[in-house]
Amino acid sequence: MVAPCPTSMMVRTKKTKAVGIPVIDLSMERSKLSELVVKACEEYGFFKVVNHSVPKEVISRLEEEGTEFFSKTSSEKRQAGPATPFGYGCKNIGPNGDMGDLEYLLLHTNPLCISDRSKTISNQPIRFSCAVNDYIEGAKELACEILDLVAEGLWVPDKSSLSKLIRDVHGDSLLRINHYPPVSNKNWDPSKVDPRQLQNCNNNNTIGFGEHSDPQILTILRSNNVGGLQICTHDGLWIPVPPDPNEFFIMVGDALQVLTNGRFVSVRHRALTNTTKSRMSMMYFAAPPLDWWIAPLPKMVTPHNPSLYKPFTWAQYKKAAYSLRLGDSRLDLFKVQQKQEDSHLAPASP
């Protein structure tokens, strides 16, 4: 179930430090690796990977492009917007009134879309397109590797049953680059932020991007060397994630929760701003084509563990996501309602 973290639970520093983020070395032996990936997905819905195959220069090139764009004047950046949903956006998160202290670029991963958008984003659109496409390719391959490991660890007969969802040429994967400028509390109006978002926040920080889960299958996240990301454990504890600009963080999304019939739970997370430093993060959201049906894998459904979710297309789920607020529980709309009437109406045994 995707549900907001309990707001009554306070984060204790000692407890926070005692809870470590899983770190998985992708160079280790395959069977052990798949076991660790599944365990991390089950326990946290989140983990860091090291010894991945994405070249450092591919990462640095995209960061340079992002830094150059966000260094432009406001009027120059607005030429790449407004984000509807693709392009440049500032403060607004989605169409339903959610706000944050950030600016961003949202791009569809289709190369033609990137080429078209790059003309309003960069003075050197070909260079920008190449940097974005190379990064997307690297992140996509990493996502596929993780999903193949998940399938192996779950003993799914077709090991590519998950990765083929995002390898499809008509896939709906996205790339988002978020920039969080330093924010002073003097200019912050807490009356404009949902009180639930303020619980457990450091008094020196504001909400850059509010609590939510990602609707896609998997998120591949990388940020610069400035902290701010926090994840919520299954018991409601918020954990700060130490930044690591050379590595990637993996997040379970709503769609993967459905595909595993609730064995994995999508991780709720948020981003806090910094009062002195800018933070920039890059997210590859791995998603299937719009017309693909999403339902629990046959391996994950048994008579004793029936399907928890009604089948839906990715387009249907996106529509639902866009109709709700950022922190709402989207999957509740697609749950199978367990009927108890039969047990009450059944005649007594003779």
Catalytic residue list: 279
In angstroms, the CA 216 to CA 285 distance is 6
* CA-closest candidate to residue 93, choices 198, 1, 208, 202: 208
* CA-closest candidate to residue 282, choices 206, 335, 229: 229
Reported residue count of the chain is 350
Count of beta carbons in the 10 Å neighbourhood of residue 323: 13
Which DSSP string corresponds to 250-309? EEE-HHHHHHTTTSS-PPEEEEE--SSS-EEEEEEEE---TT-EE---GGG-BTTB---B
Distance of CA 53 to the CA centre of its chain: 20
Q: What is the DSSP secondary structure assignment for residue 302, as one 8-state letter?
A: B
Element (H, E) at 99: strand 98-108
Distance of CA 10 to the CA centre of its chain: 24
Count of beta carbons in the 10 Å neighbourhood of residue 234: 13
Count of beta carbons in the 10 Å neighbourhood of residue 26: 17
In angstroms, the CA 141 to CA 145 distance is 6
Q: Which residues contact 17 (CB under 8 A, 6 or more apart)?
A: none
3-state class of 13 per DSSP? helix
Helix 125-153, helix 111-121: angle, nearest 10: 140
47 vs 169, 185, 187, 221, 249, CA distance in Å? 28, 31, 34, 10, 6
